[in-house]
Amino acid sequence: MSSQILAQKERKLFSELLQAYEQKQLSKGRKIADQILKKHPQHGETMCMKGLVMVHLGEREAGISLIKDGMRKDLQSHICWHVWALVQKGEHNYEEALKSYTMALKIDKDNFNIIRETSILQTHTRQFDVLLESRIHMLRLRPYSRVHWIGVALAYKLAGNTAEARRYLDHMEDFLRNVPPRDTEYGELVFFHVRVLEELGEFQEALTLLDKKAKDRMLVDRPAIAECRARLFGKLKSAADADNAQREEWTEAAEQSWTELIDQNPDNQDYYKGFLANAGIDLDSLTDESRTKALGILEEFSSRHPKTNTYRRLALKIAEGDKFKELVKPYLERALEKGIPSIFSDVKNLYTDPSKLQSIQDIVEDIRLSVSPNDQVQPSTSADPTYYLWTLYFLAQHYSSLGRYEKALEILHSAMEHTPTLPELYMTKARVLKRAGDSYGAVRAMEEARKLDGQDRYVNTKSGKYRLRAGMINEADEVLTLFTKKGVPANIDLLDMQALHYLTEVGDTHRRLKGYPLALKMYYAIQKLFHNFREEQYDFHLYSLRRSMLGSYVAMLGWEDDLHSHPAYIHAAVWTARIWILLYDDPSIIKSLHPPEPSGEMSKKALNKAKKAARKATADTSQDYDDASSQKVRAKQNEDKGLEAPTGKDDDPEGLKLVSADDPLEQASKVLGSLGEFGKDDIDVNATMFDVAIRQKKYLKAARELRRAHARDPHHPEVHVRIVQLARTVASVSDVPEPVKSVLDASVAGLKPVEVSLEVFNSQYLQRHSLSASGILASAKVSQMLDTPREEVENLLFTTLTDGVQLRLEDALEILSYLSTIQSPRADEFRIACDARFTLSKVFKSEEEQAVLRRQCIDPRDENEVETVF
């Protein structure tokens, strides 16, 4: 149906309507639209514009309905399609918005505003091929604007056609005139041009362009110039033939550039690595010759920058044997004498080499004995008492990292006797107790640290975190409230501040306490934050182009594309899916989460209370309008609320509606699907995807995920369990096509020998991993799956308590959980045995004992209560 044709007077009014909207004069625009529609009620474009204004004013549903009616009246209007695209974009439905923009461009192909908005959406959705067409179209319409030339070059770069990007940038250099010196935007463009030439392998041209612009004072960022020159000289040298006369010249130039950078910033380790790489030293594959050469080069920098530790730290990574001992001893002594608390964090990644670990331990223990020969805590016996203190602090962290918790606590006790007012000692004690399985003792220790420095935000944050790990959510919020926005609950403010560490800890705490609805809400909140990170890049697509911030912009796009590889996102996605799987396997959990229906009497009381509240709200609203501030209320009603859909009030604060979803497996699949390719090398992700797919009877997908996990680690306990599960499933299914069945059989054959039965396969796995608690647990799960009597499964799990088996605290908790899952009557026996074995741990105490310990975390310790319980 075609729209009504406006008379000249109404056409003028419609132009005023468009102008009023662009100037955000929404009330005026609505009045003009009503004036037009009064005479032409079927005019589609006016209906769409009025609907758009209504959306801005907060009348979203009515406005969208009016827009749809207007589009039906005039499907051949680019304005109608443009309006609908704006609404879709406001709802972050970018694919549909692009379709609407495409329809608008078919009707008005040279509308510059629509082309520009389309190009932004194409960039945001990474449709770089069609982005090229839009950018070239914009350049044809406005060929004299620098930004459109840059836009085309950038589009070619993003699409992977670097040669064409270079061609446009070269052309820009030919026509750009009268650029003032030290123009920041032009300088960024030059760096982008140099980077493009470098990617094409045109190192000499890139260097010439860089030097010319630097000489002409067109570049502002001096360190960036030096870094670029050093990098280009190095690549020129590497690309040159061995007999090239300039090779030596480029080598010397690169060496000089890296030296200048080191002199400017001797604390940048990347500069030393660049210098060594230029000298032909590959730090990832060192030989005896290159190791000696590298240490000699770093030695030369000691006279140039004697106060810098960076080259010394790099030398520790390179050195081995006696040379390492020679270098590490003064390094540690200097740090401990100065009282640098972070020295352990600095050297702990050297512990991957057992010989270096032992050397560090021996040296620091010798320092401890030399400062206090009898290990007496007497400050007067040492010329510098803090030297002894920081030595003890280092050793406590050292032994904690090795799992020797009793030794670490003993050293900390000596350090606290020496200096009882150092918060770091109590924080380290909390960390040791946490690792040892005493989360309640860790809370007490962290609380002592917090009381020593109540103004320290970091210590307060750690105190809140440790309370969360002990299952004390409300108590954690009490501490965190000290540093969050006043008048706002800590959990709300921390969500607004996108505090990932807090949200992750809260979600994990609810999960451990079996509060699955709130755990799901927290995990989904984490995933939403990452979605918001991606959405917030939208405003930078055009801004970065106008400001020529091309290098940073391309880096930002790459960062955004890899967002879902973040450990916090993967953790949240995996546990979200696992909770959905749990709810699918045991629907009774959902029923137990819902509160019982209230009695008739209680319902009547609740109804009366609701009616009373409603009457009060109505009275308050009437009073508001009669109040002197009614003008402010009306002004608020007319303010621009934007095109984005309002978030609305959370009508499911407990998460009960969330866990009542109709298809838990579909919810789990959707969450895991958001990981894309980022989870394919993560065994936890592979295993969880397998669990979902096998329940959905998507056997090919399940086999694919299991093959990925198997390729990563064929001996992983979870992989072993799922191989057996897949083999049993494939052997039993009969409702799949023959081609699919043959692929599944081939997959199973690639995971286990065909001639070996599942029982023998499991027995062979147990023999190979008989000293691993996690391996024994995996074998027990398979035995249970193969209908082995429960007594045999229990006996197998109890072998983890024998000497020689590597039983970690985490393994013991998993075994205890599994015994509870199979309803073993020996679960309590295993718990008591683990409680005796892990002497510092409190996680194996009874529920009554843990309740007492939880109360003692914050309140003064009640000795009588302790004696009664223990």
Mind listing the pLDDT tens digit for each residue in 354-393? 999 999 999 999 999 988 766 555 544 455 788 999 999 9
Which three-class secondary structure string do you get for 640-653? CCCCCCCCCCCCCC
Q: Scanning the structure block, which residue is given the tokens 């609907």?
A: 51
**177 has a pLDDT exceeding 80:** no
pLDDT over 90 at 210, yes or no: yes
What average pLDDT does the segment 592-614 reach?
A: 57
Give the integer Cα–Cα distance in Å for 751 and 729.
Answer: 14
Q: What is the pLDDT of residue 603?
A: 52
- Please give the tally of structural domains in the chain: 2
Region 598-621: mean pLDDT is 51
pLDDT score of 730: 92
14 contacts 6 by C-beta, under 8 angstroms: yes
**Per the domain annotation, does 501 fall within a domain?**
no
- Which CATH number characterizes residue 27's domain? 1.25.40.10
The residue length of the chain stands at 870
Residue 11 lies in a domain: yes
Confidence of residue 600 (pLDDT cuts 50, 70, 90): low
Domain for residue 4, yes or no? Answer: yes
SS3 category, 674: coil
Q: How far apart are CA 155 and CA 122, in angstroms?
A: 10
| pLDDT classification of 645: cutoffs 50, 70, 90 | confident
Residue 620 predicted with pLDDT over 50 = no
**pLDDT tens-place string over residues 5-50:** 888 888 899 999 999 999 989 999 999 999 999 989 999 999 999 9
Tokens of 22: 């662009």
CB 687 within 8 A of CB 709: yes
Question: What is the average per-residue pLDDT within 70-81?
Answer: 92
Secondary structure of 306-366 in HEC code, one letter for each residue: CCCCHHHHHHHHHCCHHHHHHHHHHHHHHHHHHCCCCHHHHHHHHHHCHHHHHHHHHHHHH
When pLDDT is averaged across residues 218-239 and rounded to a whole number, the result is 90
Q: How far is CA 248 from CA 232, 238, 642, 738, 804, in A?
A: 14, 11, 62, 66, 60
Residue 852: inside a domain: no
d(CA 382, CA 517): 58
Question: Can you give the residue range of the structural domain that contains 105?
Answer: 1-109
Q: Average pLDDT of 219-229? A: 91
CB within 8 A of 546, min separation 6: which ones? 147
What is the per-residue pLDDT across 244-259, written as a single tens digit (0 to 9) for each?
A: 778 888 888 999 999 9
The helix/strand/coil state of 508 is helix
Burial environment of residue 610 by CB neighbours within 10 A (0 to 12, 13 to 18, 19 or more): exposed
Q: 426 and 452 in contact (C-beta within 8 Å)?
A: yes
| Cβ proximity of 712 and 702 under 8 Å | no
Q: Which of 277, 292, 318 corresponds to the end of one domain?
A: 318
861 secondary structure, DSSP code: P
Q: Is 611's pLDDT higher than 70?
A: no
Average confidence score pLDDT of the chain: 88
Which residue, 109, 142, 161, sits at the end of a domain?
A: 109
pLDDT at 60 over 80: yes
Q: Cβ(264)–Cβ(229) under 8 Å?
A: no
Q: Mean pLDDT across the stretch 112-141?
A: 94
Query: How far, in Å, CA of 635 to CA of 531, rounded?
Result: 33
Confidence of residue 622 (pLDDT cuts 50, 70, 90): very low
Does 273 fall in a domain? yes
What pLDDT, in 10s, does the model give residues 665-681?
999 999 999 998 888 88
Residue 201 has pLDDT above 50, yes or no: yes
**Residue 764 structure tokens:** 């062979």
Eight-state DSSP code of residue 755: T
pLDDT of residue 591: 83
Q: What is the pLDDT of residue 867?
A: 44
- Whether residue 486 is predicted with pLDDT greater than 90 in this model: the reply is no
**C-alpha to C-alpha distance for 449 and 607, rounded to whole angstroms:** 50
Q: Are 300 and 341 in contact (CB under 8 A)?
A: no
Residue type, 211: D
Residues 6+ apart with CB under 8 A from 601: none
**pLDDT reading at 636 higher than 60:** no
Report residue 308: phi and psi, to 5°: -95, 140
Q: pLDDT-derived band of residue 795, with 50, 70 and 90 as boundaries? A: very high
806 three-state secondary structure: strand
Residue 288 placed within a domain = yes
- Between residues 651 and 22, which one has the greater pLDDT? 22
For residue 733, give the DSSP letter: -
Q: Which of 81, 109, 137 is the last residue of a domain?
A: 109
Give burial (CB, 10 Å; 0-12/13-18/19+) of 159. Answer: middle
Return the number of other C-beta atoms located less than 10 Å from residue 543's C-beta. 10
Residue 629: per-residue pLDDT: 46
Please, are residues 262 and 271 in contact by the beta-carbon 8 Å criterion? yes
Using an 8 Å Cβ cutoff, are 54 and 62 in contact?
yes
Instruction: Please give the pLDDT value at position 86.
Output: 94
Q: 291, 299 in Cβ contact below 8 A?
A: no
Residue 215 lies in a domain: no
- Range ranked top by mean pLDDT from 225-229, 621-625, 626-630, 659-663: 225-229
CB contact at 8 A, 3 and 74: yes
CA 748, CA 538: separation in Å to the nearest integer? 46
State the CB neighbour count (10 A cutoff) for residue 427: 22
Say whether pLDDT at 615 is over 60: no
Longest dimension (CA), the chain: 104
For residue 381, the 8-state DSSP code is G
Evaluated on CA atoms 308, 314, 315, 321, the torsion sign reads positive
Residue 487: strand, helix, or coil: coil
Give me the amino acid identity at 430. A
Report the predicted TM-score, pTM, of the whole model to 2 decimal places: 0.89
pLDDT (mean) for 429-440? 95
Reference 725, options 670, 778, 799; nearest CA is 778
On whether the CB atoms of residues 367 and 347 are closer than 8 A, the answer is: no
Query: In this structure, what DSSP letter does residue 772 have?
Result: B
pLDDT in tens, 529-582: 999 998 889 889 999 988 888 999 999 999 999 999 999 999 999 999 999 999
User: Are the beta carbons of 437 and 838 closer than 8 angstroms?
Assistant: yes
In whole angstroms, give the CA distance from residue 389 to residue 377: 9
Provide mean pLDDT across the span 770-785.
95
d(C-alpha 500, C-alpha 483), whole Å: 16
CA 478 to the chain's CA centroid:
26
Q: Evaluate whether residue 7 is within a structural domain.
A: yes
For residues 358 and 641, which has the higher predicted lDDT (pLDDT)? 358
pLDDT band (50, 70, 90) for residue 595 = low
CB 124 within 8 A of CB 134: no
Amino acid at 735: D
Mean pLDDT throughout 814-835?
94
Q: What CA–CA distances, in Å, run from 776 to 256, 337, 762?
A: 59, 48, 10
* Per-residue pLDDT at 634: 47
Report the alpha-carbon angle 215-220-223, nearest 5. 90
Tokens of 772: 């691993």
